[in-house]
Amino acid sequence: MKRLVPGLLAAWAVLAVLCAIPALAAPKEKPLPVVQLIATGGTIAMKIDPVKKAPVPAISGEDLLATVPEIGKVASIEVQNISNVPSGYMDPPRWVELQKAVVAALARPEVAGVIVSHGTDTLEETAYFLDLTVKSDKPVVLIGAQRNASESDFDGPRNLLNAARICVAPQAKNMGVMLAMNGQINAGREVVKTHSCDVEAFKSGDFGFLGNADEDRVVFYRAPLRRQYIPLKTADLPRVDIVYAYGGADGALIKAAVAAGAKAVVVAALGWGNVNPAMYETIKEVAAKGTVVVISTRVYNGRVLPHYGYIGGGATLKEAGAVFADNLSPQKARLLAMLALQTPKSQAELQAFFDH
């Protein structure tokens, strides 16, 4: 026995060393990328109020994050609550505040991307505003929900998880501001809300989605090529109003917008960008006095062009000094005009922004 003990002790010593080697040699786990969640409100932050029997703002960004525990395998999420309002309350001051928060987050080297939770009613406007004013190769992904957090099929958690997956996907770099809902990825410039309540409410018209957040991975099929950057020079953006063209319109609303202080008026014109004689005369009058008139269209797809030569046709509107919004919707043409008019521009200079 006395001769066996030293041998056993030696064997145990060797075994202990061998067992310790893998532990010492094991590489440290790579830290998860950091993604900033900026919460602004909307249906994604609402629950049914027991008294009002209707959805109202109720949950924070932290509450939303708690509905998706599996997101902890994708990224380290940091939450910043800057508001909790319906998206119909969004306006230029709130857009400027949000832009500053996004820029500050992206400036941090450890942040891989930013998620903005937002109501769906003006989601497309906020997406385009950020796409125009944020300069970074890191992804910014906007999400919302069509069903509130009290509903059993609340779509907010899935959209949040997919947004985090997009933020950490290498191919999401240089894609600009995107909107991710229902597993679909849309470009900020192109996306539009096309249904009041369906979960598949957002589309990109003739151009289609950028890609999908599929079950196994994030897949991109194309890149947004018509992006541009306009520095945000002031928090006090010029007033720009939108006026619809319709059968029998007389231009009174354009005059009212100018009287209210609008520096520019976007006309949601007919077809290729046409109006009736009464609106034409008003456009000609206000343009001659220095008000910028931007011609968009109430049609969902296609560009506006100075095509028709009759009074009120696009060619006559261009001669009167109007600028054409290309394929931007009236609400997005308004945003581009607001940013472009931070400093005075000629008709040709403004047209270059819309042609970009």
Alpha helices in 134-290 (DSSP H): 156-168, 252-259, 277-288
Q: Give the orientation angle of helix 92-106 with respect to helix 123-133, to 10 degrees.
A: 50
CB 354 within 8 A of CB 324: yes
Q: What does the block give as tokens for 24?
A: 């010492």
Helix (H, G, I), strand (E, B) or coil at 353: helix
Q: Which of 43, 120, 133, 282 is catalytic?
A: 43
Helix, strand, coil content of the chain in percent (nearest 5): 35, 20, 45
**Cα–Cα distance measured from residue 154 to residue 25, given in angstroms and rounded to the nearest whole number:** 45
Q: Could you confirm whether 67 is annotated as catalytic?
A: no
**Cα–Cα distance measured from residue 89 to residue 36, given in angstroms and rounded to the nearest whole number:** 23
Whole-angstrom CA distances from 291 to 156, 243, 284, 310, 342 are 42, 14, 10, 23, 14
Q: Cα 335 vs. chain centroid, distance in angstroms?
A: 13
Q: What does the block give as tokens for 157?
A: 């958690």
For every residue of 225-259, DSSP letters joined together read ----------SSPPPEEEEE--TT--SHHHHHHHH
The set of catalytic residues is 43
